[in-house]
């Protein structure tokens, strides 16, 4: 598009535009021109016959008419096929022009005495239509228009120059003709330039709209993929509607709800199976990995699990560290959901066995499966993650925790649904899981029927470790092996979605190279036919171009009324009529040229009576006043230097451009002024029929009689008054944006007035001119072509219908231009909304500083995103009492109302993130009633290491304030819900690795010992307290917080640790407290 807007478009686009222009705009006009000429010739024959003239007695006239009818009928036949026109546009246009010119010269020398005013109106018609109706470029049209003018002037000058002095003065008439032709050329060129500009603007807007539509489609696909990467389809539309409502409301928070509750997107599903899987030994392996290796390893592992889940119709729910859990039977019920989960568990164990056999790394897979019912959906306002809740989910989790590495551990409920599909064995109950022991139900281990076959095969392929050498780290061995699995990268699907098309996107290369008559001209070809041979983008391109064809105006449309061209939407029609028109001043300037031409003509062909001069002087004054009003804004600098009382004058131009009523009034007044001045000379001619050349005593030898009526103007002013009336018709077409109905009214008014003047009230003047011209000849009645009043009336009608066709065409394209601009604005606004929606969705999955890596111009889907940080503060905040609060009964809709309260808690926590002081806090995820967040993730890699400890860990204070704010929010919820929930918080800081994993449902997460210890700080903490490690306590004390020692406690996986409680009752107190000892 940038190239299209350049002053000189590239040849391919310019050629395409010219093709579009000639086909969509000029093709129907060319046909209408030929039809008008044919009907004009038939009208001449009809008038000649109706006036009682013997056609046979004038063989020259009859021959000219028959040749004209035959020639233009042949041209109409040649032009009736668009394919032929496109291929031979220039030659065919040249033939039409040459035929019109030949017809005009034939008319000159047919039917009687040749005069200087003969066929001036017809040549004016030829000149104007060359510009307005023939598919020629501006240069070709100007050359044809000037050639037409010169041919008339030269032929008459050469022919009439040697004539006797009995003819009226030739030079003034030729000068008047030259002024007429010059005005016709300027008016035609101006009309063509305006239409060219309007058409090119419409063409650009159509292409911009096409590109905007492609971009909009792309954004829709992006946000659809993003939404479906977070949520199942059945929830996506409902939640998308809420996001759109938030965007339209112009706020990031939720719209106010009438019941004061946040929206809850949770539904209950029965008949599902839940699978939990944990990679045994992964924590130790991860500690040996580099950040890139860790993220790659996790992405490949869980990418493989996602592929297995897809094969077995399971939906992955969430990834928690190295724990993976999914559900079968969502969102659609499946009769074999239990078998699906068991098969998936077996395949996961099999994949890990192959990995262990190939790399020698000591890891395994522990899987637990249970069948029952779940509540599933999304809670909270930010970082949506589809999740499941119920006692059955809890049981499945315990089944995994108490399972056997390499085996699938199932409950009796799942076994019953297997219907003997797999052999099982009783699981030993020595695992000591208190939850399962309390239930007292037997559990089982599934026997993998393919396990023995794999054991027999062993490692026939050889260990990768033996090939790579004994010194390679296990993590590197695993990484190299996992790369062979080829799991998709996160958001890789966005790479396959067509990238957004900016406004600088050029025309489709395929469209330009393949554009031919067969594409756009064969209207029997359907859009589906296009799709079969072109790609979707090019098909849409040609469909848009097809909508610009002017023949569409006569067909049923969703936008226009085919008869009136009014917009079907009343608001759009009102907006169109009230739209500003800055170009109005140029319309008036060009009509002034027509007025000035009329003035010169009148001065040349009359004896310039004082009354006529005074009338024109007054009219000039009115015109100058009008031009001053229209162009006053260009005089701003001059006016501002003058008196203050005149400073309002420049606003007049703005008023004219923006007030439709004022424009209509001024435009109508201007046209009526030109109409009235075109016939002003008739006022100074006698109204009574008193022609001295019809007197009986006038002999044939009285050749020295004057051409003037006694005490009046010369008779030759009569035909030139008709020619001035024709220029008045042309002035109406110069107001390009004037409504069609107003143009029709003015043209009808002027047609009626002109015909009544020259055919009725002042018809005797034409007869008197004929009597003077044919004085002394035997036949005083010339042919119809030489009788001014008849030829004038026919010219009026021809120009009336021609300008009516152009007015309709102009109206259609003005409205089409307005429509495309409006569509473009709407699509740009919708695209902007979609881009904001995509951004919100992406930032709901990823932190704001990570999102640009996956969308827009900076998208880098070829690489996995990973980042290491030296100092990140990790928070785990849980509401342990919620586990006891949660119950499933008919009263609370099987736990749904309990989740509604949890949704309120999490949503209120999320609302804190929108506060400026917590802008550095990043929510990671929620795990049931546990809230995980971190600070320090928006720092640049390596930045922390270059700063001193106090600066690098300053964000710890933000996290403490956030934790205190969480407790305050929970107190408010307790007050309104009559509960006594208490928060348990664990904090830790240190190095972490951040990354995005999972192709099916990309998930941002952080890993490392810092995260594990922070989780243990929460799980071993005390209600109402913030527990921190000794290192974190020291860092917080340096920031002015008070901590006191809890003592040494046993932490799973970490041994004995000395922990501290943060004194949240105190704010920063200045010097460090001695309680840390």
HEC per residue, 408-436: EEEEHHHHHHHCCCCCEEECCHHHCCHHH
Average confidence (pLDDT) over 498-518: 41
**Of the listed 772, 1016, 1025, 1046, which one is catalytic?**
1016
350 tagged catalytic: no
In percent, the amount of the chain with pLDDT more than 90 equals 22
Contact (CB, 8 A) for 1011 and 993:
no
Tokens of 308: 């297995």
Average confidence (pLDDT) over 137-156: 92
The candidate with the shortest Cα–Cα distance to 638, out of 630, 626, 650, is 650
Average confidence (pLDDT) over 308-317: 90
Q: How far is the C-alpha of 653 from the C-alpha of 635, rounded, in Å?
A: 10
Residue 354 has pLDDT above 60, yes or no: yes
Place of tokens 């809709």: 893
Contact (CB, 8 A) for 869 and 992:
yes
The candidate with the shortest Cα–Cα distance to 294, out of 453, 476, 124, 539, is 476
Q: How far is the C-alpha of 614 from the C-alpha of 201, rounded, in Å?
A: 44
Q: How far is the C-alpha of 626 from the C-alpha of 613, rounded, in Å?
A: 20
Cα angle vertex 522, ends 521, 524, to 5°?
145
Contact (CB, 8 A) for 175 and 602:
no
pLDDT score at 560: 75
Contact (CB, 8 A) for 556 and 562:
yes
Tokens of 386: 């589809």
Place of tokens 């990238």: 499
Q: Where does residue 1006 fall: left (phi above 0), alpha (psi -120 to 50 degrees), or beta otherwise?
A: beta
Q: Where does residue 608 fall: left (phi above 0), alpha (psi -120 to 50 degrees), or beta otherwise?
A: left
Of 632-646, 780-794, 1015-1029, where does mean pLDDT reach its minimum?
Answer: 632-646
pLDDT score at 662: 87
Q: 689 — phi, psi (to 5°)?
A: -80, 95
pLDDT in tens, 873-923: 999 999 999 888 888 888 888 888 888 999 999 999 999 998 988 988 999
Residue 412 has pLDDT above 60, yes or no: yes
pLDDT score at 977: 85
Q: Where does residue 227 fall: left (phi above 0), alpha (psi -120 to 50 degrees), or beta otherwise?
A: alpha
Highest mean pLDDT among 234-238, 433-437, 964-968: 964-968
**Of the listed 87, 284, 310, 1052, which one is catalytic?**
1052
pLDDT score at 687: 57
Tokens of 616: 């024109």
Higher pLDDT: 175 or 783? It is 175
- Please tell me whether residue 567 adopts helix, strand or coil conformation: strand
pLDDT score at 966: 92
The candidate with the shortest Cα–Cα distance to 101, out of 72, 81, 74, 78, is 72
Higher pLDDT: 328 or 437? It is 328
- Please tell me whether residue 560 adopts helix, strand or coil conformation: strand
Residue 873: beta bridge partners?
Answer: 935, 989
Residue 875: beta bridge partners?
Answer: 933, 987
Q: How far is the C-alpha of 759 from the C-alpha of 791, rounded, in Å?
A: 11
Contact (CB, 8 A) for 808 and 747:
no
383 tagged catalytic: no
pLDDT score at 985: 93
Residue 479 has pLDDT above 90, yes or no: no
Contacts of residue 537, defined as CB under 8 A and 6 or more positions apart, other chains included, come to: 214, 498, 508
Residue 619: beta bridge partners?
Answer: none
pLDDT in tens, 680-728: 877 766 655 566 655 555 544 444 444 555 445 677 888 888 889 999 8
What does each C-alpha distance from 11 to 2, 28, 140, 464 come to in angstroms? 14, 25, 18, 60
Q: Are strands 314-320 and 364-378 parallel, antiparallel or unpaired?
A: unpaired
- Angle separating helix axes 337-359 and 474-483, nearest 10 degrees: 120
pLDDT score at 874: 94
Return the number of other C-beta atoms located less than 10 Å from residue 483's C-beta. Answer: 12
Average confidence (pLDDT) over 768-773: 78
Average confidence (pLDDT) over 171-187: 92
Average confidence (pLDDT) over 587-612: 87
Q: How far is the C-alpha of 369 from the C-alpha of 346, rounded, in Å?
A: 11
Contacts of residue 288, defined as CB under 8 A and 6 or more positions apart, other chains included, come to: 473, 474, 475
Residue 39 has pLDDT above 80, yes or no: yes
Contacts of residue 941, defined as CB under 8 A and 6 or more positions apart, other chains included, come to: 867, 868, 869
pLDDT score at 866: 80
Q: How far is the C-alpha of 403 from the C-alpha of 208, rounded, in Å?
A: 61
Contacts of residue 752, defined as CB under 8 A and 6 or more positions apart, other chains included, come to: none
Q: How far is the C-alpha of 618 from the C-alpha of 779, rounded, in Å?
A: 45
Q: 201 — phi, psi (to 5°)?
A: -65, -45
Q: How far is the C-alpha of 555 from the C-alpha of 593, rounded, in Å?
A: 38
- Max CA separation in the chain (angstroms): 146
Residue 761 has pLDDT above 50, yes or no: yes
Contacts of residue 1073, defined as CB under 8 A and 6 or more positions apart, other chains included, come to: 1037, 1042, 1043
Contact (CB, 8 A) for 427 and 420:
no
Residue 484 has pLDDT above 50, yes or no: yes
Contacts of residue 496, defined as CB under 8 A and 6 or more positions apart, other chains included, come to: none
Q: How far is the C-alpha of 1011 from the C-alpha of 1019, rounded, in Å?
A: 12
Calculate the average pLDDT of the chain: 78
Q: Where does residue 483 fall: left (phi above 0), alpha (psi -120 to 50 degrees), or beta otherwise?
A: alpha
216 — pLDDT class (breaks 50, 70, 90): confident
Distance of CA 43 to the CA centre of its chain: 51
Please provide the distance, in angstroms rounded to a whole number, between the alpha carbons at the two ends of the chain. Answer: 70
Q: How far is the C-alpha of 681 from the C-alpha of 602, rounded, in Å?
A: 7
Higher pLDDT: 186 or 61? It is 186
Q: How far is the C-alpha of 29 from the C-alpha of 805, rounded, in Å?
A: 8
Higher pLDDT: 810 or 96? It is 96
Q: How far is the C-alpha of 68 from the C-alpha of 61, rounded, in Å?
A: 10
Average confidence (pLDDT) over 733-757: 88
pLDDT in tens, 522-552: 433 333 433 343 344 455 555 555 555 555 5
pLDDT in tens, 101-129: 999 999 888 877 888 888 999 999 999 99
């Amino acid at each position: 598009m940038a190239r299209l807007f350049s002053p000189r478009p590239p040849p391919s686009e310019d050629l395409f535009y010219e093709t579009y222009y000639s086909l969509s705009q000029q093709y129907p006009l060319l046909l209408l021109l030929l039809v008008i000429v044919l009907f004009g010739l038939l009208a001449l024959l009809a008038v000649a016959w109706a006036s009682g003239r013997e056609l046979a007695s004038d063989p020259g006239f009859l021959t000219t008419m028959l040749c004209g009818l035959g020639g233009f009928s042949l041209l109409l036949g040649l032009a009736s096929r668009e394919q032929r026109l496109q291929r031979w546009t220039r030659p065919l246009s040249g033939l039409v022009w040459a035929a019109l010119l030949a017809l005009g010269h034939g008319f000159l020398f047919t039917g009687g005495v040749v005069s200087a005013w003969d066929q001036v109106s017809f040549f004016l018609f030829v000149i104007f239509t060359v510009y307005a109706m023939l598919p020629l470029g501006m240069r070709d049209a100007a050359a044809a228009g000037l050639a037409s003018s010169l041919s008339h002037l030269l032929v008459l000058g050469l022919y009439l120059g040697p004539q006797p002095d009995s003819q009226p003065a030739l030079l003034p008439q030729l000068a008047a003709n030259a002024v007429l032709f010059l005005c016709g050329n300027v008016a035609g060129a101006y009309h063509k330039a305006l239409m060219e500009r309007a058409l090119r603007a419409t063409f650009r807007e159509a292409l911009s709209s096409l590109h905007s539509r492609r971009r909009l489609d792309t954004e829709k696909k992006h946000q659809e993929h993003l939404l479906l990467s977070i949520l199942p389809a059945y929830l996506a539309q409902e939640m998308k509607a809420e996001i759109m409502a938030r965007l339209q409301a112009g706020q990031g928070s939720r719209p106010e709800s009438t019941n004061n509750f946040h929206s809850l997107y949770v539904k209950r599903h029965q008949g599902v199976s839940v699978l939990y899987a944990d990679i045994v030994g992964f924590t130790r392996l991860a500690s040996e990995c580099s950040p890139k290796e860790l993220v790659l390893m996790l992405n490949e592992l869980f990418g493989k699990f996602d592929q297995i889940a897809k094969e077995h119709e399971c939906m992955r729910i969430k990834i928690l560290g190295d724990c993976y859990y999914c559900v079968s039977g969502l969102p659609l019920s499946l009769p074999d959901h239990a078998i699906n989960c068991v098969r998936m568990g077996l395949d996961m164990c099999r994949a890990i066995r192959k990995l262990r056999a190939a790399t020698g790394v000591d890891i395994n897979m522990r899987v637990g499966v249970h069948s029952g019912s779940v509540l599933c959906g999304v809670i909270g306002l930010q970082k949506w993650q589809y999740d499941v809740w119920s006692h059955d989910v809890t049981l499945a989790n315990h089944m995994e925790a108490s399972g056997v590495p390499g085996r699938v551990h199932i409950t009796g409920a799942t076994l019953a649904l297997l219907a003997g599909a797999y052999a099982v064995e009783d699981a030993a109950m020595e695992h000591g899981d208190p939850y399962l022991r309390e239930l007292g139900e037997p559990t089982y281990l599934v026997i993998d029927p393919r396990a023995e076959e794999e054991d027999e095969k062993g490692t026939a392929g050889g260990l990768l470790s033996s090939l790579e050498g004994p010194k390679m780290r296990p993590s590197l061995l695993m990484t190299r092996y996992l790369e062979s699995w080829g799991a998709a990268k996160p958001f890789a699907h966005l790479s396959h979605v067509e990238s957004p098309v900016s406004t600088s996107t050029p025309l489709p290369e395929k469209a330009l190279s393949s554009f031919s008559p067969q594409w756009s001209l064969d209207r029997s070809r359907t859009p589906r036919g296009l799709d079969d041979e072109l790609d979707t983008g090019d098909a849409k391109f040609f469909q848009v171009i097809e909508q610009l064809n002017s023949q569409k105006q006569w067909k049923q449309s969703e936008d226009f009324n085919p008869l009136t061209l009014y917009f079907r939407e009343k608001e759009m029609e009102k907006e169109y009529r009230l739209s500003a028109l800055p170009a109005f001043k140029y319309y008036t300037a060009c009509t002034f040229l027509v007025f000035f031409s009329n003035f010169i003509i009148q001065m040349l062909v009359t004896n310039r009576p004082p009354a006529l001069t005074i009338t024109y002087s007054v009219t000039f004054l009115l015109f100058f006043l009008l031009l001053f009003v229209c162009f006053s804004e260009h005089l701003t600098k001059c006016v501002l230097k003058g008196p203050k009382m005149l400073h309002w004058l420049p606003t007049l131009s703005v008023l004219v451009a923006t007030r439709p009523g004022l424009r209509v009034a001024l435009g109508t007044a201007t046209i009526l002024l030109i109409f009235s001045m075109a016939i002003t000379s008739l006022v100074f001619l006698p109204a009574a029929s008193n022609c001295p050349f019809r007197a009986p005593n006038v002999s044939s030898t009285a050749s020295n009689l004057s051409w003037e009526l006694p005490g009046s103007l010369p008779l030759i002013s009569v035909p030139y008054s008709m020619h001035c009336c024709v220029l008045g018709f042309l002035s109406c077409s110069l107001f390009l944006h004037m409504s069609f109905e107003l143009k029709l009214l003015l043209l009808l008014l002027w047609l009626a007035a002109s015909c009544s003047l020259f055919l009725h009230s002042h018809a005797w003047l034409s007869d008197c001119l004929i009597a003077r011209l044919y004085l002394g000849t035997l036949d005083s009645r010339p042919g119809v072509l030489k009788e001014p009043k008849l030829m004038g009336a026919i010219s009026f009608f021809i120009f009336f219908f021609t300008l009516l066709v152009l007015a309709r065409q102009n109206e259609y394209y003005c409205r089409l231009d307005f429509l495309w601009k409006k569509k473009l604005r709407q699509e740009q606004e919708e695209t902007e909304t979609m881009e904001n929606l995509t951004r919100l969705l992406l930032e709901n999955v990823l932190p704001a500083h990570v999102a640009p890596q996956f969308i827009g111009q900076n998208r880098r889907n070829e690489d996995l995103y990973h980042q290491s940080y030296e100092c990140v503060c990790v928070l785990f905040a849980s509401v342990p009492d919620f586990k006891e609060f949660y119950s499933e009964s008919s009263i609370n809709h099987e736990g749904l109302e309990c989740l509604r309260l949890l949704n309120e808690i999490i949503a209120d926590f999320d609302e804190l993130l929108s506060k400026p002081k917590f802008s550095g806090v990043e929510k990671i995820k929620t795990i049931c009633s546990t809230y995980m967040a971190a600070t320090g993730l928006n720092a640049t890699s390596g930045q922390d290491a270059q700063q001193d400890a106090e600066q690098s860990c300053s964000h710890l204070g933000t996290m403490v304030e956030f934790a205190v704010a969480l407790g305050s929010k929970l107190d408010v919820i307790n007050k309104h819900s009559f509960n006594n929930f208490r928060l348990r918080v664990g904090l830790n800081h240190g190095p972490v690795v951040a990354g995005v994993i999972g192709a099916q449902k990309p998930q941002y997460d952080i890993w490392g010992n810092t995260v594990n210890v922070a989780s243990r700080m929460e799980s071993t903490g005390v209600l109402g307290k913030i527990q921190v490690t000794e290192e974190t306590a020291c860092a917080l004390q340096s920031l002015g917080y008070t901590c006191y020692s809890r003592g040494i406690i046993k932490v799973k996986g970490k041994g004995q640790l000395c922990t501290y409680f943060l004194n949240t009752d105190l704010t920063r107190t200045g010097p460090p407290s001695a309680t840390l000892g």
